[in-house]
């Protein structure tokens, strides 16, 4: 790779041990993927923050990097294993909490902003069109590439941290225009509305992508979509189709920037969506846990929950997972009080997938296909997808 003198200096250790290790990681990655050079990144988002994922070995690596490492660009974290303020109320074990705090402290020592969220783009880590970034969370990567038109590969924990400590990433994959072309046309012949519908659509298209071995769909037939719908869709298509980028005719910024794909289109009809929806509802499900906020809830979604929960009482464990800055806005707006008076709980900084709640509940209801996937696979819950209104209805009956 062609390195600038500054990058060479990092590699030879002139900027300290952590920057050297970071540049070693990035040059190795660049060589594997035939990158010609490094590009500057505007921001970084680091995943793999839960102590449950990192363990002592991961924490040791972080502490080593934190000895002399400092982030060079705006860097935020993915959800951690617990709400840092409210973990006892959510039933998190004290030992786990202590270890999770050690992880957060190691990141803080390096200058990382410790807002733990998978929607960094809702809380100030928001790149502009065409900017290079190094993000790790799959749903956020897909949203950033597709909806914002920023450019990122799906980074792993160590490579994202390496980019944070150097401000660089190797230029390959989605950083290059030639790798951002749509590969297959998808025609949606159905009306899609709401986060759950978009989530179901993400799974339906994602399943096709896996069968066809394609990664970038060019989607027609969606006249408009909200931020919440697009974040839900991004999470789902990333989970089920491994997609890090999609184009949506008239909706996303690069939809007409590259030649349209050729070949047979995929048709998505109402019956396909019905079938996909049924696949997200387990037989014999008994809901004892309702969660909203995968990806992390926006203030708009929290306002809606407050209006739906006003004057009611939940009869089941009900979590609203969100970024802490969004929770603070909800506090100021009075939404949190309405929601908490109804008996629902905020789980800021974390989510129903990364929190250590395996086996704690029997059946989870949620508006997210991604959460259904991991609720089953990781936490061994039965699951059911539904609209936000249906989730609140079940939670309060
Ligand atoms: Fe975010 Fe957790 Fe869903 S990280 S995308 S809320 S599984």
Nearest to 322 by CA among 118, 147, 91: 118
Distance 393 CA to ligand 1 centre (A): 23
Q: HEC states along 269-299? A: CHHHHHHHHHHCECCCCCCCEEEEEEEEECH
Looking at residue 393, its pLDDT comes to 98
Q: Residue 383 has what pLDDT?
A: 98
Q: Phi then psi for 277, rounded to 5 degrees?
A: -60, -40
- Report the distance separating Cα 347 and Cα 154, nearest Å: 26
The matching CATH number, chosen from 3.10.20.30, 2.30.29.30, 3.30.499.10, 3.40.440.10, for 5-177 is: 3.30.499.10
Q: Which residues contact residue 296 at a Cβ distance below 8 angstroms, ignoring those fewer than 6 apart? A: 79, 117, 118, 119, 122, 321, 322, 323, 326, 351
Which residue's C-alpha comes closest to atom 4 of ligand 1?
Answer: 118
Q: How far is the CA of 225 from the centre of ligand 1 (A)?
A: 20
pLDDT for the residue numbered 44: 98
Q: How many CB atoms lie within 10 A of CB 94?
A: 9
| E strand spans, the chain | 38-40, 43-46, 74-77, 113-116, 134-135, 168-170, 184-188, 217-220, 247-248, 266-268, 289-297, 317-322, 345-348, 363-366, 382-385
Tell me how far the alpha carbon of residue 323 lies from the centroid of ligand 1, in angstroms.
11
Are 99 and 140 in contact, with CB atoms under 8 Å apart? no
Using most ligand atoms within 8 A of CB, pick from 136, 154, 239, 370 the residue to mutate for ligand 1: 370
pLDDT at position 32: 98
Domain limits, the chain: 5-177, 181-279, 289-395
Query: What is the distance between the alpha carbons of residues 101 and 313, in angstroms, rounded to a whole number?
Result: 32
Nearest CA to ligand 1 atom 5: 295
Beta bridge partners of 267: 187
Q: Which residue, judged by its Cα, is nearest atom 7 of ligand 1?
A: 353
Minimum-distance ligand 1 atom for the alpha carbon of 352: 2
- Sequence length of the chain is 397
Distance from the alpha carbon of residue 139 to the mean position of ligand 1, in angstroms: 8
The residue ranges of the chain whose pLDDT is under 50 are none
Q: What is the 371 CA–ligand 1 centroid distance (Å)?
A: 7
Atom of ligand 1 nearest to the CA of 354: 2
The reply to whether domains 5-177 and 289-395 share a CATH topology is: yes
Write out residues with Cβ below 6 Å of ligand 1. 78-79, 118, 139, 235, 294-296, 321, 351, 353-354, 370-371, 374
Measured by CA distance, the residue closest to atom 1 of ligand 1 is 295
Element (DSSP H or E) covering residue 189:
none
Cα(374) to centroid(ligand 1), Å: 9
Tell me, what's the pLDDT at 41?
Answer: 98
CB 245 within 8 A of CB 145: yes
pLDDT value, residue 53: 87
**Second CATH level (architecture) for the domain 289-395:** 2-Layer Sandwich (3.30)
- Looking at the CA of residue 138, tell me the nearest atom of ligand 1: 5
């Amino acid at each position: 790779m062609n390195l600038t003198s500054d990058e060479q200096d990092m590699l030879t250790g002139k900027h300290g041990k952590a920057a050297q290790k970071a540049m070693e990681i990035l040059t190795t990655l660049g060589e594997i993927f035939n990158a010609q050079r490094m590009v500057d990144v505007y921001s970084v988002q680091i995943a793999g923050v839960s102590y449950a994922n990192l363990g002592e070995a991961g924490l040791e690596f972080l502490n080593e990097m934190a000895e002399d490492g400092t982030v060079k660009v705006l860097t935020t974290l993915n959800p951690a294993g617990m709400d840092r303020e409210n973990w006892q109320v959510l039933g998190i074990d004290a030992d786990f909490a202590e270890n999770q705090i050690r992880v957060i402290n190691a990141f803080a020592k390096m200058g990382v902003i410790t807002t733990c969220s998978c929607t960094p783009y809702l809380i100030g880590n928001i790149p502009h069109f065409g900017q290079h970034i190094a993000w790790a969370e799959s749903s956020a990567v897909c949203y950033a590439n597709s909806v914002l038109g920023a450019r990122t590969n799906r980074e792993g924990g160590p490579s994202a941290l390496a980019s944070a400590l150097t401000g660089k990433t190797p230029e390959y994959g989605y950083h290059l225009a030639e790798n951002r072309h749509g590969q297959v046309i998808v025609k949606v012949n159905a009306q899609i509305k709401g986060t759950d519908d978009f989530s179901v659509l993400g799974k339906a298209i994602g399943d096709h992508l896996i069968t066809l071995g394609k990664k970038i769909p060019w989607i027609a037939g969606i006249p408009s979509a909200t931020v919440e719908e697009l974040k839900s869709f991004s999470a789902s298509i990333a989970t089920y189709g491994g997609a890090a980028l999609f184009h949506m005719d008239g909706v996303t910024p690069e939809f007409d920037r590259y030649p349209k794909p050729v070949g047979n289109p995929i048709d998505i009809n109402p019956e396909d969506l019905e079938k996909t929806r049924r696949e997200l509802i387990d037989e014999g499900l008994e809901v004892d846990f309702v969660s909203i906020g995968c990806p992390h809830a926006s203030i708009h979604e929290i306002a809606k929950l407050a209006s739906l929960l006003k004057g009611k009482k939940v009869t089941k464990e009900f979590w609203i997972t969100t970024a802490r800055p969004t929770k603070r806005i909800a506090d100021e707006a009075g939404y949190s009080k309405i929601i908490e008076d109804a008996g629902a709980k905020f789980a800021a900084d974390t989510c129903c997938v990364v929190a250590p709640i395996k086996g704690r509940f029997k059946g989870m209801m949620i508006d997210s296909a991604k959460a259904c996937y991991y609720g089953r696979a990781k936490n061994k819950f039965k699951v059911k997808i539904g609209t936000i209104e249906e989730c609140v209805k079940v939670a309060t009956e």
